[in-house]
Structure 1
Amino acid sequence: MKRFFKVSEAVEYSGHSRSVLYEAHKRGELIFTKFGGATRIEKADLDAYLDATGIKVEAA
């Protein structure tokens, strides 16, 4: 499994929309990492956010 997701991959993985993920980031609930101009979300951070919201993701 990847360590960092593109935002589109995080949407697919989490089942949340882009806007939900960006709003969580604005509230400080989800950390985004920048690699140059690319925005990435670390899987561990996304999993922690999902755990905090009570959403469980099935392992692929």
Structure 2
Amino acid sequence: MQTNSTPIHQRRLLTLRQGSDYAGVCRTKLYGEAKAGRLKLLKIGGSTRIERSELDRWIDESVA
């Protein structure tokens, strides 16, 4: 398995685990926010990803 050494803050797409670490919330919270329509997740093949810009937008709106 190859590892990607690009820092999370420079990646465009994040796994849900990376996204939860980045946002400081659990993965369940991200799934709940997506189900409520406040966060957009992407399915790529069999995996779920989130755009870092989408996560940044959600964080900004959550703290405002």
Asked whether the two chains share a fold, i.e. TM above 0.5, the reply is yes
Q: Superposed, which structure 2 residues align to 1:15-34 within 5 Å?
A: 15-34=24-43
TM-score normalised by length of structure 2:
0.82
Paired residue for 1:54?
Answer: 63
Instruction: Provide the aligned C-alpha RMSD in A.
Output: 1.1
Task: Please list every run of 5 or more consecutive structure 1 residues that lacks an aligned counterpart in the other structure.
Answer: 56-60
Following TM superposition, by how much is the alpha carbon of 1:24 offset from its aligned partner in structure 2, in angstroms?
0.2
Taking only the aligned residue pairs, the percentage that are identical comes to 35
Higher Cα Rg, which structure: 2
Following TM superposition, by how much is the alpha carbon of 1:20 offset from its aligned partner in structure 2, in angstroms?
0.7
| Corresponding residue pairs, total | 55
TM-score normalised by length of structure 1:
0.87
Q: Deviations over 1:10-47 (max 9, x none)?
A: 01100011111110000000000011111000001000
